[in-house]
Amino acid sequence: MLPALAPLTGRGLYLHATFGLAHDLLVDLAADRLDLVVSAIRPTHHALLAVPLADEEFLLVGPPSMARTVDADRLRTAPADALAALPLVAYGEELPILRRYWRSEFGHRPANPVALVAPDLRAVLAAVEAGAGISALPRYLAEPALAAGRVVQLHCSEAPPLNTIYLAVRRGAPANPALTVVRERLTDAAAGWGEL
């Protein structure tokens, strides 16, 4: 998102990005503490309006050394059982991305031990690369590490789990030309992203 907005700074626009869990950011948006939120969950608050931006595809990845400990035959026949002993590296305490992946692919929440929680996907990837555990990450983030061999894909799905990314604003907020430019820039950029 930020690279798509970078050209606006050259036009004199000041941007202040706040990172965090989607629910917390949406609460701040509804309370008028933020102007706009890019959210991995669809807002349900009546004061918020959201439009879909893009779909992100999730991959289950781990360090090569950990992947070698998984029984390949068992991974094909009972993947959740084959992966159950591997520690998880999560984005949040409630395992939001991992929980979605496990439910979509295996029909239940992960029972794996949690090794590390870091509310930044780049930090999650770095921890996986360093051998802390396995995680489900967006394809766009994991692909460079996959290509370089720093992580491997542990489970392949016919239709990988998707998550829609939304652009949320407050309903009826006063017109703000800068905010309009930011929304239009993100919407235009997202048209070229397709599936992330």
Q: Going residue by residue through the chain (196 aa), what tens digit of pLDDT does each one get?
A: 888 999 999 999 899 999 888 889 999 999 999 999 999 899 998 999 999 998 999 999 999 999 999 999 999 999 999 999 999 999 989 998 999 999 999 999 999 999 999 989 999 999 999 999 999 999 999 999 999 999 999 999 888 888 899 999 999 877 888 999 999 999 998 887 765 5
- Residue positions counted in the chain: 196
Q: Tell me, what's the pLDDT at 83?
A: 97
Query: Which whole-number Å values give the CA distances from 168 to 29, 81, 83, 180, in the listed order?
Result: 8, 38, 36, 12
- In the chain, the DSSP E strands lie at 37-39, 48-62, 88-90, 114-117, 135-138, 152-155, 162-170
β-bridge mates for residue 90, sequence order: 117
Q: Tell me, what's the pLDDT at 69?
A: 96
Q: Tell me, what's the pLDDT at 71?
A: 95
Is residue 67 a contact partner of residue 192, using CB atoms and an 8 Å limit?
A: no
The token duo for 144 is: 């460079």
Q: Tell me, what's the pLDDT at 21?
A: 81
Helix, strand or coil, per DSSP, at residue 86: coil
Q: Interhelix angle for 2-9 vs 177-191, to 10°?
A: 140
Domains of the chain: 2-54+163-191 (3.40.190.10), 56-155 (3.40.190.10)
Query: Which whole-number Å values give the CA distances from 99 to 29, 73, 76, 157, in the listed order?
Result: 25, 24, 20, 16
Closest CA to 126 of 64, 139, 94, 118: 118
Is residue 92 a contact partner of residue 109, using CB atoms and an 8 Å limit?
A: no
